Amino acid sequence: MPRPRALPLWLPLLLLAALWWWAPRLAPLLPASAQRRAIVVLADDPLRTEAALDLWERQPHSQFWILGGAYLLLASWDQLDQRGIAVDDPRLGTLMQGEDTVGQLTLLSERLPREVRHVTLVTDRSHSRRSLLIARLALGGRGIHVQVPPDTVLPARLPPENPLRRWRDGLRVQLWRASGWDGRFLGIWLQQWSPSIWR
């Protein structure tokens, strides 16, 4: 009687690689005991922060995270002050490190409290699709579900982003997941090499 053929070695390796690749999409589907929420704003534009604060007023039990450099953080604090919100409010979190969207969101995945399982990401309309992809890859591996508000809530910005930037940054996050390096300098090199393609 002929012996059954053994599975080729590459097949389980391929399955493991596919599982690793898709883990950030699958992990948020698993049940979690903690269900805290956070609103995260990429505060490059005061209009983004205003939209996020409007949303926070409707979800006051959520944490509120501001991502941006020092001068952007100061502008956001002014906006908080105008609404009567203290900058030492325990629901507030800030992250000034990270040179770009990939850097900010990969760092956020390390700083966000473990009990947070839902994130609403606020940016502008042209930036939202790329930011959502980055956030789902960076935060999804921790079991965090990420969404963006409808376009009607987000500030408009022209011109729209080049779709290639989404592919580039998606690959950068997967590189970060595999190695801990987000490939930022490679992205800068690509922009210098062919700026019309990557902008």
pLDDT confidence bin for 93, thresholds 50/70/90: very high
Tell me the percentage of the chain whose pLDDT exceeds 90. 55
78 lies in some domain: yes
Count: domains in the chain: 1
19 lies in some domain: no
pLDDT at 63: 96
Tokens representing residue 85 in the block: 């919100």
- How far is 82 from 62, CA to CA, in rounded Å? 20
Please tell me whether residue 34 adopts helix, strand or coil conformation.
coil
1 lies in some domain: no
Q: Tell me the CATH number at 100.
A: 3.40.50.620
- How far is 28 from 153, CA to CA, in rounded Å? 24
47 lies in some domain: yes
Q: pLDDT tens, 14-27?
A: 777 777 777 777 77
- Please say whether the beta carbons of 59 and 37 come within 8 A: yes
Q: Which of 88, 85, 75 is nearest to 54 (CA)?
A: 85
191 lies in some domain: no
Q: pLDDT tens, 138-147?
A: 999 888 999 9
Residue 133: pLDDT above 90? yes
Q: Which of 35, 43, 82 is nearest to 64 (CA)?
A: 43
Q: Side chain identity at 62, as an amino acid letter?
A: S
pLDDT at 197: 53
Q: pLDDT tens, 28-57?
A: 776 666 679 999 999 989 999 999 999 999
The whole domain housing 110 covers 32-150
128 lies in some domain: yes
Residue 198: pLDDT above 60? no
Instruction: Determine the average pLDDT of the residues in 101-123.
Output: 94
181 lies in some domain: no
64 lies in some domain: yes
Q: What is the pTM of this model?
A: 0.84
